[in-house]
Structure 1
Amino acid sequence: MQNITEHMEVIGADGVHIGTVDRVEGNRIKLTKKDSGEGSHKGHHHFIDKGLVADVEGNKVRLSAKAAVAVTMEEEK
């Protein structure tokens, strides 16, 4: 797997912005809090399993799932 580093943009297979990488923790990508959404999700870090990563293109991490699907797979800590 290519290096995934902080501040990279995470996009779904459909090209939709999902978040920005805070850091990688084990097999998960931790997204910055500013991409946490609204309501009960606001202010929480979200995680995406590295198994969903299809490719790293420049400064973008492209997932194998569309944004709407990937977001449902996020985990809160």
Structure 2
Amino acid sequence: MADIREHMKIIGKDGAHVGTVDRVEGNRIKLTRTDHHHYIDTKYVGAVEGDIVKLSVNADAVPKTEAA
């Protein structure tokens, strides 16, 4: 998770856009405000390649939680 940085793109296993990283908070990735400050649990991260966070599930299967 140390490789995940601000403004990285997040894509699902299917290659579809999920959001953009605002920052990592504990075991969650906070998405930028344009993505409504949702969070994605880091357990769904499959790989970090260059400036892209690739998830281990398809974009439509990613559980997002609201800012809390």
- The TM-score, its normalising length taken from structure 2, stands at 0.93
Structure with bigger gyration radius: 1
What is the Cα deviation at residue 2 of structure 1?
A: 4.8
Q: For residue 75 of structure 1, what is the aligned residue in structure 2?
A: 65
What is the Cα deviation at residue 35 of structure 1?
A: 2.1
Q: For residue 15 of structure 2, what is the aligned residue in structure 1?
A: 15
Q: Among residues 40, 57, 64, which one is paired with 2:56 in the alignment?
A: 64
List runs of 5+ in structure 1 lacking aligned partners.
37-44
Q: Distance in 2 between matches of 1:9 and 1:15?
A: 11
Contact 1:2 1:56 in 2 (8 A): no
Find runs of 4+ consecutive structure 1 residues off by over 2 angstroms. none
Indicate the RMSD between aligned Cα atoms, in angstroms: 1.0
Q: Please list the CA deviations of residues 24-77 of structure 1 after superposition, one character each: whole Å capped at 9, or x if unmatched.
A: 0000000001123xxxxxxxx10000000000010000000100001xx10002
Q: Distance in 1 between matches of 2:32 and 2:26?
A: 16
More helix by share: 1
List runs of 5+ in structure 2 lacking aligned partners.
none
Where 2:60 maps in the other structure, the secondary structure is helix
